[in-house]
Amino acid sequence: MTAISDRTAATTKSTTGVSTDKPVTKPRPGALAASGRPTVRPPAAAHLSDEQVAELGRELDAIKDEILAKRGASDAAYIRRVIKIQRGLEIAGRATLLASRNKAAWVTGTSLLSLAKILENMEIGHNILHGQWDWMRDPDIHSTTWEWDFVTPARSWQHTHNDLHHRWTNVVGKDNDVGYNLLRMDEDQPWTPRALGNPLYNAILAPIFEWGIAVYDLELVDYKEGRKSKEAMTRDLKALGIKALKQFTKDYAATPAVAMLTGSGKQALMGTLTANAVRNVWAHAVIFCGHFPEGTDTFTEEMVEGETRGDWYVRQMIGSANISGSKFMHIMTGNLSHQIEHHLFPDLPSNRYGEVAPKVQEICKRYGLPYTTGPLLKQVGSSWAKVFKLALPGKKA
Closest CA to 119 of 256, 257, 283, 289: 283
Please name the amino acid found at residue 94: R
Does 72 participate in binding another protein (rule CB under 8 A)?
A: yes
Q: Is 390 exposed, middle or buried (0-12, 13-18, 19+ CB in 10 A)?
A: buried
Min separation Cβ 116 and another protein, Å: 12
Contact 60, 360 (CB under 8 A): yes
Task: Give the one residue of 110, 152, 247, 382 binding another protein; rule: CB under 8 A.
Answer: 247
Other CB atoms within 10 A of residue 213 CB: 22
Task: Give the one residue of 21, 24, 395, 397 binding another protein; rule: CB under 8 A.
Answer: 24
Min separation Cβ 199 and another protein, Å: 33
- What distance in Å separates the CA atoms of residue 99 and residue 259, rounded to the nearest whole number? 7
Q: With respect to another protein, which residue has the nearer C-beta, 51 or 147?
A: 147
Other CB atoms within 10 A of residue 130 CB: 21
- Contacts with another protein: how many residues (CB under 8 A)? 66
- What distance in Å separates the CA atoms of residue 329 and residue 195, rounded to the nearest whole number? 32
Does 81 participate in binding another protein (rule CB under 8 A)?
A: no
Helix/strand number for the chain, H first, E second = 19, 2
Task: Give the one residue of 45, 63, 118, 136 binding another protein; rule: CB under 8 A.
Answer: 136
Min separation Cβ 23 and another protein, Å: 6
Stretch that binds another protein, among 86-94, 330-338, 372-380, 387-395 (CB under 8 A): 86-94
Please report the DSSP string for 40-85 in residue order.
S--GGGTTS-HHHHHHHHHHHHHHHHHHHHH-SHHHHHHHHHHHHH
Please name the amino acid found at residue 68: L
Q: With respect to another protein, which residue has the nearer C-beta, 239 or 376?
A: 239
Closest CA to 111 of 94, 87, 124: 94
Contact 115, 85 (CB under 8 A): no
Does 140 participate in binding another protein (rule CB under 8 A)?
A: yes
- What distance in Å separates the CA atoms of residue 381 and residue 388, rounded to the nearest whole number? 11
Does 94 participate in binding another protein (rule CB under 8 A)?
A: yes
Does 69 participate in binding another protein (rule CB under 8 A)?
A: no
Stretch that binds another protein, among 13-21, 264-272, 324-332, 373-381 (CB under 8 A): 13-21
Q: With respect to another protein, which residue has the nearer C-beta, 142 or 378?
A: 142
Task: Give the one residue of 40, 67, 258, 273 binding another protein; rule: CB under 8 A.
Answer: 258
- What distance in Å separates the CA atoms of residue 319 and residue 277, rounded to the nearest whole number? 28
Question: 301 to 360, contacts with another protein by CB under 8 A?
Answer: 346-347
Provide Rg for the chain, Cα atoms.
Answer: 23
Does 35 participate in binding another protein (rule CB under 8 A)?
A: no
Binding mask of the shown chain, residues 152 to 181, with x at each position contacting another protein by CB under 8 A: ------xx--xx--xx--------------
Min separation Cβ 294 and another protein, Å: 27
Task: Give the one residue of 88, 241, 368, 393 binding another protein; rule: CB under 8 A.
Answer: 88
Task: Give the one residue of 100, 114, 143, 322 binding another protein; rule: CB under 8 A.
Answer: 143
Task: Give the one residue of 142, 174, 359, 378 binding another protein; rule: CB under 8 A.
Answer: 142
- Residue burial 329-365, b: 16+ Cβ < 10 Å; e: rest: ebbbbbbbbbbbbbbbbbbbbbbbbeebbeebbebbe
Does 361 participate in binding another protein (rule CB under 8 A)?
A: no
- What distance in Å separates the CA atoms of residue 378 and residue 294, rounded to the nearest whole number? 10
Does 73 participate in binding another protein (rule CB under 8 A)?
A: yes
- What distance in Å separates the CA atoms of residue 178 and residue 40, rounded to the nearest whole number? 20
Task: Give the one residue of 10, 34, 377, 385 binding another protein; rule: CB under 8 A.
Answer: 10
Q: With respect to another protein, which residue has the nearer C-beta, 247 or 296?
A: 247
Could you list the residues that contact another protein (CB under 8 A)?
Answer: 3, 6-7, 10-11, 14-19, 23-26, 28-32, 65, 68, 71-77, 84, 87-88, 91, 94, 130-131, 134-140, 142-145, 147-149, 158-159, 162-163, 166-167, 243, 246-247, 249-250, 254-255, 258, 346-347
